[in-house]
Amino acid sequence: MFKIYRKVFMTIAFKHKKSLGQNFLINKKILHKISSLKDFKNQEIVEVGPGKGYLTEFIIKKKPSKLILIEKDKTLNTILSNLIKNKDTKIKLIIGDALKISINKLSEKKIILIGNLPYNIATTLILNWLRYINSFKSIIVMVQKEVASRLSAEKKTKHYGRISVLIQVVADVKVKFDIAPENFFPQPKVYSSIIEIIPKKKIEFDYHKLDKFLKVSFMHKRKTLKNNLSKIGTNIEEKIFKCGIDPALRPEEISPNQFIKLSEELL
């Protein structure tokens, strides 16, 4: 199944960098499955972390109007440059850190973002992109399974927290499928998940105020809402009641929309 891609690893000198979280997906069937999640034809695509370009090859076959690759590892420059040479699709390669690149400024049109995100910075990357979520048509990324669970968690569940709320107030999160470690080289110790983040049409609240409010609300997850919020002002219990919410509830029992209402009332 992996014959072609394993051969590449054997013939091209390359040292995987743990600091960059490099675990390359080498199962062609799964790569094809990912590239088939959306119709990429005539769309503007940004791929974060293309690595050696295995998913890139499948995306190019879908004939996007424009493809931008963002890769941090400079040693992959030659491999990727050779891969995208003489292709019909307009392709741009950026060697740089996705954490420091404002992806919303790379195109005047709404883009589809796709990528295999390093486990150690996946959450940070996604939170950065949420700041300009309306620049995307869709975000399809591979993350650690536990991260996918946190992003998609519903209230009153184990993984529900600040991150769940922050993403769900601006987008719908769908876990598409899980991927076992043996489909990567080198193999990670955990399962991965493919998720799709679909922006909501209207966002009519102060996102930064909400984030500030959530940090306080979830500071002590097992404490009640009124106890966690006791230091941010006066008449806290009364204000929580005013929002139609029981102050004795824990933060994990409050829905994303209720948190919006609370942040607007209490801050």
In the chain, where the domains are located: 18-199, 207-266
Residue 209 has pLDDT above 80, yes or no: yes
Helices and strands, counts by H and E, the chain:
11, 9
Give SS3 for 43: coil
Token code pair at residue 4? 């072609």
Residue 100: C-alpha distances to residues 103, 125, 139, 166, 260 (Å): 9, 10, 18, 21, 29
Residue position matching structure tokens 């743990």: 18
The residues pairing with 93 across neighbouring beta strands, listed in sequence order, are: 69
CA 94 to chain centre: 19
Q: Cα–Cα–Cα angle for 212, 21, 125, nearest 5°?
A: 25
Mean pLDDT lowest among 14-23, 186-195, 200-209: 14-23
Instruction: Find the helix or strand (DSSP H, E) in which 242 lies.
Output: helix 236-242
| pLDDT tens-place string over residues 80-129 | 999 999 888 899 999 999 999 999 999 999 999 999 999 999 999 999 99
Domain covering 207-266 in this structure, CATH number: 1.10.8.100
Question: Is 142 within 8 Å of 179 (Cβ atoms)?
Answer: yes
Q: Which of 17-31, 102-116, 157-171, 251-265 is the least confident region?
A: 17-31
**Residue found under tokens 């990324």:** 141
The span from the CA of 50 to the CA of 61, in Å, is: 15
Q: How far is it, in rounded angstroms, from Cα 15 to Cα 238? A: 59
Homologous superfamily in CATH for domain 18-199: Vaccinia Virus protein VP39 (3.40.50.150)
Reported as a single tens digit per residue, the pLDDT across 138-190 is: 999 999 999 999 999 999 999 999 999 999 999 999 999 999 999 999 899 99
In the predicted structure, residue 9 carries a pLDDT above the cut 60: no
pLDDT score of 5 more than 70: no
